Structure 1
Amino acid sequence: EALDLLAHDACFDCVLMDCQMPVMDGYDATQLIRAPPSLQTLPIIAMTANAMAGDRERALAIGMNDYIAKPLDVGSMFSTIARWVGQGTPTRSGTAPKAAAVAPPVQAPAPAAPALPPLPGIDTRAGLTTTMHNEKLYRSLLTKFHAGQVRFVETFRAAQAQGEASAPERVAHTLKSVAGSVGARGVQAAAAELERACRAGEPAPRIDALVDRVVAELAPVLAGLEPLVVPADESREAELVLDPVRVAAFRQQLLDLLAAGDSGSLDLIGGDRGLLAAAYPEQHQAIESAMQGFDFEAALDLIRAEPA
């Protein structure tokens, strides 16, 4: 759908390309965008949570113009975009776009000391930068991080049991991404190392040792977040009497949307979280966390790991 829009609409100045999209990754999408002559000079900027050596070079070699690392630094992001997006009308002339006269980097206002309590293992100033210093939104991210990662080990082991080589890697990638977003740098680094090891197919003892390292970093972070977590209204969920036919229809609709990489899946679960909990009682929090991070493949892995 996005490729069709680009092919038929000349009003786009730039593409921000997520390199870890489900179904088709950003590298394949870039090659398709570059195929028509009219799109060969459209600026494409890679966005990836990967911190692995060679990622930037791969993005540039495939035809992207620049690179933005996630979690996003807002000022750096706008400065990078400004380097490639000219003033006025979009460039589609067949000549490489000239770098725009770059204004001084956009600096988000320096926040006052966060009202949040000190959180072990979390750089709250870095995390608040992700939300442009919106503390309410940041608190929401922290509680979602807790809900989604409190059962990380079980989720990772379930992914290993699937027998699909990429499933554990995706679980580690999700943790790395969301940890970076909230400022949990130690967790992010440990998860990145685990992701690399999974991708390289390293032996089980090495993977187990890296899982232990992740747990050592993650446990104090989760413990520190406990006071911020509002207990779920379990009694209300227990009182919900849901039609099994409705739950089955919800499951199928969610699976179809996730398999298609359709963001409408977020609207579906947002409409009634009681349905999500009823459909997947063991993994509903982790599924929602993966979906909120747009990691739909990881959400599918979690659904497949849910006991029947």
Structure 2
Amino acid sequence: NDHVAKPIDPESLFKSLLEWIPPGERELPESRQESEESAADAADDRLESIQGLDIAAGIQRVAGKRDFYEKLVRKFAEGEEAQAIETIESLLDRDDRKSAERAAHSLKGVAGTLGAGELQKRGQDLENAIREGLDRVQIDTYLQVVGEELDRLVGAVRSAFEASDDELEDEPEESVDLDQEVLARLPELADALEAKVETCRELASVLSINEIETFAAEVGTLARDAGYKPLLAWSDGLAEKASLFDLEGMGESLTGFAQLVDDIRSMGAEAAD
């Protein structure tokens, strides 16, 4: 139903995802789900308290995937839609009413997907006003009404995620104690991972979701076989980012893979000395 041209722009991708949510289920890795559960619950509680945001309806629209829904809400508050009023005003200043109408339509659609019913209604009224050819003074009245609700909602969402992020940062990191048996397997693990470095570089340049999910699963199998939990956490994290279409996060993880392999090799060499 839509097309995102390559090279893929994350903002454009998420904008399309918000308007055309694909059907189907994507399972997140269990270990990652457990480690993020408390932080997700904290964000969920704060989102629940935001007036005008029906998160139950929003989550239902994304096949019940709470993490995916929260990702979309965060992108909405940090992305182009948060600046929709400025965008529409600029388009109207250039007398580009068609583009202004499309921008209003996009905002309305995003609001509907997220369960922001009041913003959706106001966005619809703005879209109608532009389409029906009302004069600029009349349209500015609709812009003000939409802007008030948009600013309120964006501010509340940002506050909710900032508070939950602060809580997550305050949690102590788990220490990882490796027994001698695991340490002894690290050189062999590093060799197996080294063979995947070039593949990883290629994936980082194209960011193919299906291939990245396969790569994450393969690395996860190696991690489980070696009993090396930090690598398993890395592979689970990569799989989660792929399931959430987090292009920036996938790129960062894949770019750091070669260094991760070097660290594993160094750790194995030190243990052997």
Give your verdict on TM over 0.5.
Answer: no
Higher helix share: 2
Higher strand share: 1
Give the TM-score normalised by structure 2: 0.43
Give the TM-score normalised by structure 1: 0.38
Highest CA radius of gyration, 1 or 2?
A: 2
